Structure 1
């Protein structure tokens, strides 16, 4: 721990040595905030060796929590049993698992996938069609419900949100009915986890008091990303003005306003807590020239913390200009030009994983990806996935869910279909229904009987399912995946179309188990808890190590790369068309500026920015942000920005 403290600068050390009371650490990009936070936690643990308190650290992604846990355990191994490093959603899920009975939830509640949520909404709209005439689709209804959950909207306030009084009343009816259905089915969705947990802590303050007895210190990383539900949950957990609350964030990096984040949340902190503030302006990541651009850009935003210090460059300049600005005729020429420069850099010996192409929109990245492919350069544009798609992992996850509920006809249908896809045999729902009827409706027992009676199901898979029927779910997972691994490895066509995504998703599965701690820790969980953790996990595959990553700015947040290419630096691209319509001083435009700030501060060595004079055939001006950063002269500006 002392070694950790020795490597901190004066501001980092002041934060790491903070003991009691609420503190906000305004940590700019590349300022070493994670190192500072873990150093403080390690110090508290070491100084409290003879005490029994625990520390709660909340962050926003499981990967961030896992990375921080690894770093902390390297410096303070004893922290394993003293610190809970987790996400808001995982922590709220744990509270509801312990105390959800107050709402009629049992600990093994299911976390619904998007298709299951849509099915629930459709059933409500169909059964109450005469009363709910204002909803044109289940998708739009679900979007409205997500908004209400995210903003912790009381039932009584729903009607006044819409100008159409009848539409407001119907939305209120649907919202109440949807929440009631969740509880009836012992199920939650992603948004309702925080909604119900906040309600639980607010209505039953003794639970919060109990948690505060266990967790003497509460830390929050990436605070700027909190939405209303997360902030309300935090307030219910630590309501006292002098709470031991350690907040790390940066209002210059708020880029999730669509999800309820707001730079004004820092102001709310000051209203609710006797807040002290320490700033970490030192940037240890970027070349001085990039830091200068970032400062020149972000100063144009009005919604910033008072007395916010500019970033301080801590790296020594190399002598070469690390910044390049490229102009192209149009978006196609831009994609080709960037691909050519990336290819040249790779030919100079730079590793693909050290290069990133950033854009505000995926469409531009896909164009660059095609241009890279034409040069035989492997690249990766992430495709976000919330559930597994390969037949083997669909079978494993749906069978596990069936083991929990045992009598769900829709789920049994999914299990049967995915099993048929895995073994290339038509095991019909009627076959399963026949076994189920003979077994008093127990669909899991019926599955066991079905696979035993199916000659196409190999013995290894039959034995795996038998283990599941007997309650040994960890053995089922390991045996089933061992079988599918062997099929995928032995088959020349990798098991056929149904196995197309299997190898990639299998790597994701392993990653999820690591985020849970280890295979042993994950499989030691009760089945209900394991499925809850699995449902909360991000299923999006990592980029291959031999691929140049092509990322949206939003997905690049928290990452850093030696060589950054930021494309689409034209009006209506970055900033977006919508923010242009809203005006230069709008909250939308300020968020676009913060997005640009986040993008350029991913840079470790070189930053290349580019813009085209035409996009999709329409003439466009260079981004106003290029002028604000001083990369283009105002005299070159052909029109005045509104």
Structure 2
């Protein structure tokens, strides 16, 4: 039994602005429009807490949160752990659009007719080479980027059963493979296949709708046409309640196919009520004033966020620095970062260097200068996605638990994971609990002994394979559907092996290697796109084409 709706209050003493509180308690379809720092993640976490604790999401039904980016999905999942009681946490599922669609395809692959069924070992398109080769074999020469984009976009603009001509031939080659062309799918193609499965198999669609009584759509402004079509098939005219959260000012994915009229379409299709959040919890008042000025140049729509009352009017610093050359620039930045770390005790991970475009192209000089003053910085793009993977987190926490028996966070992570995989999350049977604890402790002792003897990368590779086998790869795949297909889980494990061993070679200590791999002792350098939705105390922003450096010193309240 849950508490009554009237009794419920936001968890952990969080105070929500009136519109946010109304949106949390709305049990029907809704749209929450909120700018940067408005607390969108917090709102969804509180809404999950409200639905679960008041039994508005009736057991055993679940809440499904779908985000555009993996970072957002992981951040929301982490926030849920802080707000939702542990006995209810397992009923909240956080995924990206891509993993949601891929889970449907991989789980119900054989619900597709043979002509539309991809090879079970299909690969995810990392680039467009396979597409170009497939079109070439079918008589279409994609000789420039404009033509290439047009033809590849057209692959998913038509319902699957209506695809014809050269596009049907290309679909066939990409689904099954053909000589030098590997079976390869883009995530857009995967979404189209998932839509076909749900439209032609009413029992699967009904099961999906009965599983999830509530759905959260995060970063909604970036939703593509195909992704919105998938949402429509899944939940339109159903009893499932949807809460969409986004902001038109943060629409940065139009170039990648984001649906330009997504908010209006959703309001009309799902008869949703709109809520507008006006408070900014992240930025200090002086920074908000700068944001208002910038917005007035970029948009005609007024932008008037209200600062969190905890700030004083003068808090927040923003400065522009000009330099005669890039070396002087890098040295000055290194000196400033040194002061921030040593004098103001700001941690490495609360400082970020943002570049406009290619990190690789512009990061080498600043990384080299920082190394001279014993400060590590790295291209975060190489690690950001890998560090969000469930299988990677499972392995890293297992290694930490073996090496540091007092690391309660790592132990809690693998303890809960083991219970989860074994289907024993709700057990109170002391014999089952003791047996699982015994299995874990024996495994951790073995791992610790083997780590001490590792002298070659292949030995680490075998150890990580054994760790996955301990948890049972089939159970992992059952609970994390993004790993159902092909060799993806093996590729992630191999990428982890390569990176972790390189850090071990330089650190000669496994805990230090894990810390460095996770970036605990380095300053992240990333693009604007990759930094979206993340929070830092200090941000250095490079404008390369004008050879000046824009420095933001952020004080903000993390909610």
Asked if the contact 2:20–2:277 (Cα under 8 Å) also holds between the matched residues in 1, the reply is yes
After superposition, residues 141-540 of structure 1 pair within 5 angstroms as 147-148=153-154, 152-154=157-159, 170=166, 173-179=169-175, 181=177, 188-204=185-201, 207-240=204-237, 244-302=241-299, 310-314=304-308, 315-317=310-312, 319=314, 322-348=317-343, 349-361=345-357, 362=359, 363-384=361-382, 489-490=452-453, 495=456, 520=471, 524-525=475-476, 531-532=483-484, 535=488
CA distance in 1, matches of 2:192, 2:547: 36
Q: Deviations over 1:506-549 (max 9, x none)?
A: 79x99xx8xxxx98486524589574377389869765211112
Corresponding residue number in structure 1 for 2:401: none
Aligned 8 A contact 1:155 1:175 in 2: no
Matched, 1:563 2:538: yes
Report the Cα offset of residue 295 of structure 1.
1.9
Contact 2:130 2:184 in 1 (8 A): no
User: 5+ unaligned residues in a row in structure 1: which ranges?
Assistant: 160-168, 394-474, 575-595, 607-642
TM superposition shift of 1:8: 2.2
Contact 1:522 1:530 in 2 (8 A): no
Give the secondary structure class of the aligned counterpart of 2:111. Answer: helix
Rounded to whole Å, the distance in 2 between the matches of 1:96 and 1:381 is 33
- Looking at structure 2, the residues matched to 312 and 524 of structure 1 have their Cα atoms a distance apart, in angstroms, of 47
Structure 1 residues 28 and 136: alpha-carbon distance in aligned structure 2, compared to 1, 3 A threshold: closer
Residue by residue, what CA displacement relative to the aligned partner does 1:323-366 show, whole Å, maximum 9, x if unpaired?
Answer: 11111224443333323322332332332222111111222333
User: Which residue of 57, 63, 67 maps to 1:59?
Assistant: 67
> Secondary structure of the residue that 1:524 maps to in structure 2?
helix
Change (3 A) 1:56 1:328: same
1:29 aligns with 2:24: no
Change (3 A) 1:263 1:119: closer
Q: Shift of the alpha carbon at 1:189?
A: 4.8
Cα distance, 1:119–1:255 mapped onto 2, change above 3 Å: closer
Check whether the contact 1:357–1:564 (CA below 8 A) recurs between aligned residues. yes
Q: CA deviation at 1:233?
A: 0.7
Q: Residues 254-287 of structure 1, C-alpha deviation per residue, up to 9 Å, x if partnerless?
A: 2223322255322322332322111122111111
Give the Cα–Cα distance (whole angstroms) in 1 for the partners of residues 342 and 477 of structure 2.
51
Is residue 109 from structure 1 mapped to residue 136 from structure 2 by the alignment? no
The 1-side partners of 2:226 and 2:62 are apart by 24
In structure 1, how many angstroms separate the alpha carbons of the residues matched to 2:41 and 2:148? Answer: 36
Give the C-alpha shift of residue 203 in structure 1.
Answer: 4.4
Please name the residue that 1:92 is paired with. Answer: 101
Deviation at 1:61, TM superposition (A): 4.1
Secondary structure at the counterpart of residue 208 of structure 1? helix
Q: Distance in 2 between matches of 1:554 and 1:387?
A: 13
On the 8 A contact 1:355/1:561 being kept in 2, the answer is yes
Structure 2 residues not aligned, in runs of 5+: 1-7, 392-438, 500-516
Structure 1 residues 603-636: Cα deviation after superposition (integer angstroms, max 9, x where no partner): 3369xxxxxxxxxxxxxxxxxxxxxxxxxxxxxx
Q: Counterparts of 2:313 and 2:61 in 1: how far apart (Å)?
A: 48
Per the TM alignment, residue 289 of structure 1 is displaced from its structure 2 partner at its CA by 0.8
> Could you report, residue by residue, the CA deviation over 1:83-122 in whole angstroms, capped at 9, with x for unpaired residues?
3332222222332234332314789933515579856875
Q: Per the alignment, in what secondary structure is the counterpart of residue 320 of structure 2?
A: strand
Per the alignment, residue 583 of structure 1 pairs with none
Of 14, 23, 48, which residue of structure 1 is paired with 2:22? 14
Q: Alpha carbons of 1:231 and 1:133: their partners in 2 closer, same or farther (altered >3 Å)?
A: closer
CA distance 1:156–1:70, change in 2 (3 Å): closer
Whole-angstrom CA distance in 2 between matches of 1:378 and 1:250: 35
Aligned-residue offset at 1:559: 0.9
The TM-score with structure 2 as length reference comes to: 0.68
What does residue 603 of structure 1 align with? 554
Q: Which has the larger radius of gyration?
A: 1
Relative to structure 1, the CA distance from residue 366 to residue 35 in structure 2 (aligned partners, 3 Å threshold; closer, same or farther) is same
TM-score, normalising length from structure 1? Answer: 0.60
Change (3 A) 1:212 1:369: same
CA distance in 1, matches of 2:482, 2:269: 36
Q: What's the offset of the Cα at 1:562? A: 0.8
SS in 2 for 1:300: helix
